[in-house]
Amino acid sequence: MCLKNKEKIKKIAVLTSGGDSPGMNPAIRAIVRTAIYNKIEVLGIKNGYDGLINDWTIPLTSRSVGGIINKGGTMLFSARSEDFQKPAGRQAALKTLKKYNVSGLIVIGGDGTYRGAHALHNETGFSVIGVPGTIDNDIAGTDYTIGFYTAVDTAMQAIDKIRDTAVSHNRLFLVEVMGRHAGFIALASAIAGGAEDALIPETKTDIKELCKRLHEGKKRGKISSIIVVAEGDEEGNAIEIAKKIEKKGGYETRVSVIGYQQRGGSPSALDRILGTRLGNAAVEELLKGTQSAMVGIQQNKVVTHPLEMAWKEKKSINKTLVSLIGIMSV
């Protein structure tokens, strides 16, 4: 840590933006306590960038973040702000930051949140650090985003329950999980839930081939099957794919859409630890004098990258995990 900058920073601000994710609260707690440990005050901004524009603020103390490590959602609330996408909105945001003598802003959210922070920094020179908080895990520069593994646990538990019915009634179930543009949740929950396949936007979905494999599985004595579908698969959502399977393969199918429960719930141990490590790292970056960056975790080490990495680089799916599903469904 560079102590020379430590003297300069008296106050920082934190906000959560975009979709909420379990683990945002542990990250807020870590930011507040790391700052206070370093004798820095913290201003909480409510409702994401809208709160910054409209001066919806709350001073955060060590005590105000007590008892939140196990809570899902975000104590600062989250929002998607249209106004912040315009330069006038960002100027209003700067006014609020100046009013409270804040010298660094930490944003917890997804790539859209990073774009906003990047725009603010580019236009005003204000120091910004991004912390990856989204269940989708679709941010390059970090192996995991905060909330991902809790969402995977939730999806896995739902798959476990659906399996009971699938087995009892010899049925083919399609379970739809979140992931409009990315299949990380689908892939991980399919492996953890022992599904036959994960249909994801990153790989080509071949319905004919899928029906063939289901048929072969039946011949080998499989009495039920579960297929996990990412909502953004190129063949459609789970309901649309189920219809195609019924038409092409003659199977009777059942569909279960897990939905918003994947975003909620108490954060898993992994997400609490990740939120704590990345929240701490974000404050450390401001103390070092970093003016614009994102923090992430790679190979179990905290790393930093330019914010632009989140939208300039596409995070690729782990191909080994894709093949693993095939091997496990033999």
Kindly list the catalytic residues. Answer: 136
Nearer to ligand ATP, 18 or 104 (CB): 18
**304 contacts ligand ATP (rule: CB under 6 A):** no
Side by side, the strands of the sheet bearing 104-109 are 57-60, 41-45, 11-16, 104-109, 128-132, 292-298, 301-305
Q: Phi-psi bin for 300: left (phi > 0), alpha (psi -120 to 50), beta? A: left
Nearer to ligand ATP, 122 or 165 (CB): 122
**150 contacts ligand ATP (rule: CB under 6 A):** no
Report in angstroms how near the CB of residue 60 gets to ligand ATP at its nearest. Answer: 21
Binding residue for ligand ATP, selected from 41, 111, 197, 285, defined by CB under 6 A: 111
Q: What is the secondary structure of 180-232 as a DSSP string? A: SS--HHHHHHHHHTT-SEEE-TTS---HHHHHHHHHHHHHTT---EEEEEETT
Q: Which residue is nearest to ligand ATP (CB)?
A: 112
Q: Which of residues 53-92 bind ligand ATP (CB under 6 A)?
A: 80-81, 84-85
Of 95-103, 108-116, 281-289, 296-304, the segment contacting ligand ATP by CB under 6 A is 108-116
Report in angstroms how near the CB of residue 142 gets to ligand ATP at its nearest. Answer: 13
Do 43 and 59 contact (CB within 8 A), yes or no? yes
**264 contacts ligand ATP (rule: CB under 6 A):** no
Binding residue for ligand ATP, selected from 13, 16, 18, 188, defined by CB under 6 A: 18
Binding residue for ligand ATP, selected from 17, 189, 225, 253, defined by CB under 6 A: 17
Alpha helices (runs of H) in the chain, residue ranges in sequence order: 3-8, 24-37, 48-54, 87-99, 111-124, 148-168, 184-192, 207-219, 238-249, 269-288, 309-312, 319-328
Report in angstroms how near the CB of residue 273 gets to ligand ATP at its nearest. Answer: 21
Cβ neighbours of residue 246 closer than 8 Å, sequence gap 6 or more: 252, 253
Report in angstroms how near the CB of residue 197 gets to ligand ATP at its nearest. Answer: 25
**147 contacts ligand ATP (rule: CB under 6 A):** no
Of 110-118, 196-204, 242-250, 283-291, the segment contacting ligand ATP by CB under 6 A is 110-118
Which residues on neighbouring strands pair with residue 57, listed in sequence order? 45
Report in angstroms how near the CB of residue 145 gets to ligand ATP at its nearest. Answer: 8
Candidates 134, 261, 249, 136; CA nearest to 227 is 249
Nearer to ligand ATP, 112 or 193 (CB): 112
Candidates 145, 140, 181; CA nearest to 263 is 145
* 99, two tokens: 């009013």
**46 contacts ligand ATP (rule: CB under 6 A):** no
**230 contacts ligand ATP (rule: CB under 6 A):** no
| Backbone angles phi and psi of 194, in degrees to 5 | 65, 35
Provide the 8-state DSSP code for 300. T
Do 14 and 44 contact (CB within 8 A), yes or no? yes
**148 contacts ligand ATP (rule: CB under 6 A):** no
**115 contacts ligand ATP (rule: CB under 6 A):** yes
> Where do contacts with ligand ATP occur on this chain (CB under 6 A)?
17-19, 49, 80-81, 84-85, 109-113, 115-116, 119, 134, 136
